[in-house]
Structure formats: C-alpha cells, structure tokens
Structure 1
Amino acid sequence: MTRSLRLMLLCAASITLAAAGQANDSQVQNLLGLTFADTADLALGAPVAAHVTLRRARPLRAEQALGGPPGHSRFLIEADLAALIRGEPGTPAQIRFLADFPNDARGRPARLQRGSQWLVFARSVPGRPGELQLISADAAIPYDAVTAERVREIVRAELEGDAPPAVSAIGRAFHVPGALPGTGETQIFLQTERSQPISITVAREAESQPRWFVSLSEFVDAGASRPEPDSLLWYRLACFLPAQLPAASFSDAREHAQAIQRDYQLVRQGLGPCPRNRSRR
C-alpha cells in the first residue's frame, strides 16, 4: 500500500468515525491497519503524543505548502488537547500543527470535520508554545480507544525503571560446548543506546528442547523467559535484530561459529517477524 493511499484511508476513517460516533474496536483496528510495531514506532519516536479534538482545519495556499506530496493539500490544524499521553507538563490546552492530506476525487482539499478526534505524534517547536511538528507524514491518525490504550501501554513500559533499552548493534557472541554432543550454551551480548546490559542465552541440554531467554542485567537470569509477543522487549528484539549474526560478533570463537549461528537463528525464529504497514518517515 502506498503512503498516499494509506493517508486517503486514514482521512476516510476520520470522517467515518466522526459520523458514526462510535465503532467496534476490531473494526477500527482493521480500518487503520496499524500493527504493534507501527504503533511503537510512533509512540517511541515522538516526544509528544496527544489525543486532540479538531477545532479548525485551514488549507494553505500552494505557495505556502512547498515540498508537500503531489495531490495533497497542506492544512494548518488547530485542535483542543483532550489528553496528553506523552509530553511536557504545562502543554497548552490548544495546539497547532501542519499536516498534508490527499485531495478528494475532484482535486479539492479534503474536508476535515470540526470535532473529529485524532491521535497526534509530534515534537514541540522551540520558542512557540502550543505549536507542534509532526514526526512523519502519517503521524496524525484518527483516534480510537484501542490504539490510544496501546500507545499508553508502550509509553508506560518505556518509562519503567527496568525497561528494555533500544538495541544499537550486536556485540560479542560466545559458545560453551556441553559434556554431551549437541549440548551447550550460547551467549549473545547486545549493544544498546544507553549502554545498558542486555544479553540472549540459548541453552541446549540432553533429551530436552533448547530454550532461550533474555537477561536485562549484568548477570544471566536463568529464570527469565522469552519476550511476550507485542511487548516492548519483543519489539526491541524482533524489529531491530539483523536477520544474520555479523561475523565480527564471533571472530573470537570461530571454532564455534556454526553452533552460534544455529542458536541465533533459533532466537530469530522464536521472535518471529516484525510486520509493519506504514512507512517510517
């Protein structure tokens, strides 16, 4: 699905939801098509996340919208803050931001309804209280309770003291063979943006299925478990670990390269894919 088509669907969704007043949660999710990773990309990438009510949408003249995508019109949006999910205390009750929306079938600017509800992912404009800048072209989406609650859960998880850090690279990987053929333990250390420790352990024991777990401290937590799907830890790993382990990670353990690569693929398979439906712009 192209970005333009996706934005058209989102515009249509806002009009539909405003007209209907209420919608079934699953219907809304299907309409927006946001995966957990899509929502996490927005929630974690935006210093400000807010639920707003549209007060006024004023289309700008073409010369005021230079750089916008073809077939779109740029709007100055004025909105009332319904709930601040993430942001600085003291955020004004009324906010403004620019947004591009696809034109209608006749090439005219879209009609955005006063009173429609939106989720906005943005950053503050320094020195301009109440003025926001969207973090991407699709960072103003029609409000629905399911997505809003998911955003809150992701933000809460990130703010917890033991929150999993963002992974920046693969560190060193080591393997210790066991006493019996096919047994042993592999440890893969990850590099993080804030230099917080995180490691993955794969343990293979005789006559049992291999198991793997993640430790978020300097010490290996043998009692830890796999990350739950659609959790912050799952997102940090499934959405950012490379498909293949870099050779530099086991340059000091080349004699165990095959075992390390095998165990890394076990982890990748256990995490599963990280589906996304929106462009990350």
Structure 2
Amino acid sequence: MALVTVDRAIRLKGDDAINVAAGRVRFYLAGTVDTLLAGRGGLPGGVDWIADVPLDGSNHLPKLKKRRLILFARTTPGRPGTLQLVARDSAIDWTPDSEARLRAILTEAVSPNAPPPVTGIGHAFHVAGTIPGEGETQIFLRTADARPVSLSIVRRPGEQPRWSESLGELVDDAAAAPKRETLAWYRLACGLPPTLPDEAVADQSPEDADQARTDYRFVLESLGSCDRAGTDQAAPPLDQSSR
C-alpha cells in the first residue's frame, strides 16, 4: 500500500484496452512514491501500473495527472517498479482523513487481538423464543487462522433487531456490532459471502433455516457495502507492450 503522485497518464486503446467495462477507460499510469504505508521489501521512487478508471460525473475522461492516490497493489516479480492493483478499484484519492483511517486500520491489523480475516461460514442455527417474534440466531464463521468468531442476532417483540460479533469461544452477551471502517467491520463487510450457504443450516427445520437466512441478510444490510479495494475483479496486469 503506497501513497503515489501521478506524473503521467496515458489512455490505452485498441488491443491494450480489451474487456474494459462500460463507463471506464484504461490508463497507463506512472508516478512518484511519496510514502509506503504498508508492505514488505519497499518500492523504488517511481512506479507504473494500469488501471481501468471510471469516467467522471460528466462522462468525460478523468483528470489524473498530479492526483495523489493511495494504491492497494502488489509488485510484479522481477520488475519491482511495476505494480498490479489487487482489484479494479484499488486506488483511492488521498486525503488527510483517508490516510488517517487507513493508518488506524493498519495499526489494528498488527495487534495480537486483531480480528482474523473471514473466509466463510461454518454453522448457523436459529432458536425461537417463547413468545411470537422472539428468537436468536447464532452464526459461526470460518477464519484464516481458525480462531472462533461468531455473530448473534437477537429479536424481541416491539424492538429493533440487534446483532453483535464475538471473538472467542464463548458468545459475549456484552458484545456489539463493530463500528464502521474499523478493521473488524472490514473483515465482515468484505469477507462475508452474499448469502447464507445452504449447508450452514442443513440440520435446521425449514422455518428456522429461513429465519437464519433473514437474520443473516439483516447483518449484511446493517454492515453496508464493502468500500475498500479488493472486492472486485483484479486490475489488468501491466504488459510490457503497453509502455
């Protein structure tokens, strides 16, 4: 992850711009590395990359030269100055606020208590309460390092449903939903699948399985969309012929 000032922006056409999505244009970009925010091995002072950039609000070509961008990218083997964005939208405009938020997340990420990346869903079950409209759903997540993470969704008559996340073997009754744009929020918003897998509720009654799915959708809607790079298709690699 690096803060880069764009020095050159060349629009690519023809064979160099195959499969560009509607409303986007492909650019070869080169810039100066201002700061390395995260990564191993460092970067040279100058880097280049390719990006499929959306047109601006007036459907015109975006003005890229001299823009300061935060890039989420990987280096190309044997070519340390050539980057490949990890996803199509892996470049965001730099602002003091965007850098501060990213630095806070990076600080969280190196903490021993940092929430692990979510890789899927294990088991989910719903237990109805003693009165209509009351119940609780537990959803147990799979994580990259096998640490336990679970979601609880509680419904009570006359109240808004409430959900929380627990990190650990035991469900924490005092737990809460993670705050937006924290590392825990990103782990869930960017790691949870769009639907609850059927196998996660295979041992549930149809009614309880449907309620678990409803509660899972409630969690996704509460989280909102994942606004970080890495959720879309990878950006095109920089081909030597595009220079």
After TM superposition, is the score higher than 0.5?
Answer: yes
Which residues of structure 2 form unaligned runs of 5+?
234-243
Q: What secondary structure sits across from 2:5 in the alignment?
A: strand
Q: CA RMSD in A?
A: 4.1
Aligned partner of 2:174: which letter?
A: G
Tell me: CA distance 1:68–1:140, structure 2 relative to 1, closer, same or farther (3 Å). farther
Is the CA contact (8 Å cut-off) linking 2:2 and 2:38 kept in structure 1? yes
Q: In proportion to residue count, which structure has more strand?
A: 2
Q: What secondary structure sits across from 1:272 in the alignment?
A: helix
Aligned counterpart, 1:275: 225
Residue range with higher mean Cα deviation, 192-201 or 240-249: 240-249
Given candidates 172, 175, 191, the residue that maps to 1:224 is 175
Aligned counterpart, 2:105: 154
Deviation at 1:68, TM superposition (A): 6.9
Larger Rg: 1
Given candidates 35, 39, 52, the residue that maps to 1:83 is 35
Aligned counterpart, 1:28: none
CA distance in 2, matches of 1:260, 1:51: 46
Aligned counterpart, 1:12: none
Aligned length: 224
Q: In proportion to residue count, which structure has more helix?
A: 1
How high is the sequence identity, in percent, across the aligned residues? Answer: 34
Establish whether residue 213 from structure 1 lines up as the match of residue 194 from structure 2: no
Deviation at 1:66, TM superposition (A): 5.8
Establish whether residue 246 from structure 1 lines up as the match of residue 207 from structure 2: no
Deviation at 1:190, TM superposition (A): 1.5
Tell me: CA distance 1:252–1:142, structure 2 relative to 1, closer, same or farther (3 Å). closer
Once the two structures are superposed, the pairs formed by residues 42-81 of structure 1 within 5 Å of their partners are 49-55=1-7, 57=8, 59=10, 65=16, 67=18, 69=20, 72=25, 74-77=27-30, 79-81=31-33
Deviation at 1:51, TM superposition (A): 0.8
Q: What secondary structure sits across from 1:222 in the alignment?
A: coil
Given candidates 199, 220, 245, the residue that maps to 2:150 is 199
Given candidates 183, 192, 211, the residue that maps to 1:262 is 211
Deviation at 1:175, TM superposition (A): 4.3
CA distance in 2, matches of 1:263, 1:96: 47
Deviation at 1:98, TM superposition (A): 3.6
Which residues of structure 1 form unaligned runs of 5+?
1-48
Is the CA contact (8 Å cut-off) linking 1:80 and 1:93 kept in structure 2? yes
**With structure 1 as the length reference, what TM-score do the two structures score?**
0.61
**With structure 2 as the length reference, what TM-score do the two structures score?**
0.68
Aligned counterpart, 2:85: 134
Aligned counterpart, 1:163: 114
Deviation at 1:216, TM superposition (A): 1.3
CA distance in 2, matches of 1:167, 1:268: 17
